[in-house]
Amino acid sequence: MRLPVVLRREALFEFDQAADWYEKKRMGLGITFTRAIDQTICHLHDNPNSYAMVFHDVREALVKGFPYCIYFREEMNQILVLSIFHTARDPYGWQKRV
């Protein structure tokens, strides 16, 4: 059974901020970033257990073409996205949300 994917408010904020930043950097790049995130979310939606656990019960999905990871876990009949996180940042930022 495929579980619904839900983004925490913080993850949605990170996603919006990054998409805006990429769009300001180069027109159309924000859309490319958004598509890469969407593709990653679709894949983790279909195959959540194919991703390695990296912190407690949290799994990590790398975003193709961008230095971002999506951190998520299965929780109460849903896949909860905790963070859409730039890989150069301190991981404590998303780990404290667990």
Domains of the chain from N-terminus onward: 5-95 (3.30.2310.20)
> Residue 40's closest CA among 10, 13, 18, 65?
65
Return left, alpha or beta for 71; rule: phi > 0 is left, psi -120 to 50 is alpha, else beta.
Answer: beta
Q: Per residue in 12-48, pLDDT tens? A: 999 999 999 999 999 999 999 999 999 999 999 999 9
Q: Does position 96 have pLDDT exceeding 90, yes or no?
A: no
Place of tokens 């919006």: 16
Is the confidence at residue 83, as pLDDT, over 80? yes
pTM of whole model > 0.95?
A: no
- How far apart CA 14 and CA 60 sit, in angstroms, is 16
DSSP state of 10: H
pLDDT band at 95 (very low <50, low <70, confident <90, very high): confident
Q: Which residue has the higher pLDDT, 96 or 40?
A: 40
Structure-block tokens of residue 43: 């894949």
Average pLDDT, the chain: 92
| 30 vs 39: CA distance, rounded Å | 14
